[in-house]
Structures are given as C-alpha cells and as structure tokens.
Copies of this chain bind each other. A is one copy, B any other.
Amino acid sequence: MLKAKVTVTLKDSIVDPQGSAAERVLTSMKYPVESIRIGKYMEVILSENDKVKAEEIMHEICQKLLANPVMEDYSFELEG
C-alpha cells in the first residue's frame, strides 16, 4: 500500500476567481497578503507496493481524472 499526495494547481495564465476573492477579503481586513492561488490537494491510497508502477499509475490517473491538463498542472509525492 502506498500513499500519493497530489497537488493540482491552475496554470499561471488561468484566472483564479476563488483565489482573487479570498485575497480581496483578506487585504480588506489588512492582512499582508499579496496573492492567493487556490488549487486541489488529494490523498490517494493505492493497493500497489511497487513504487515504479505506482508512479506510472499516478501519472495516468492525474492526467485522466484528477487534473484537467488544459488548465491545470499537477505534482505528487509517493509515501511508503
């Protein structure tokens, strides 16, 4: 069993309305916030013990389902 911690972020050129809205609220409250970008974080438990295979699988499911390659980038780390 392996655990993958995945972060999915919006590509830089894509607007992030959520982040901007949170940013505006925090700056209006006088917090020293320059910018916020909001993405996704996922924890995937795999019933696969081979790290190399797990890595392949994770790339596949990130591209297919967990991230939208048109607008998002992803990265992940595998943990034993």
A-side residues, CB < 8 A to B, are 1, 7-9, 19, 22, 25-26, 31-48, 57, 60-61, 65-66
Contact = CB atoms under 8 A, between A and B. Distances in A.
A19 B38 CA distance: 18
B65 A34 contact: no
Contacts of A42: 19, 22, 36-39
Contacts of A25: 65
Contacts of A65: 22, 25-26
A38 to B, nearest CB: 5
Contacts of A34: 1, 45-47
A5 to B, nearest CB: 8
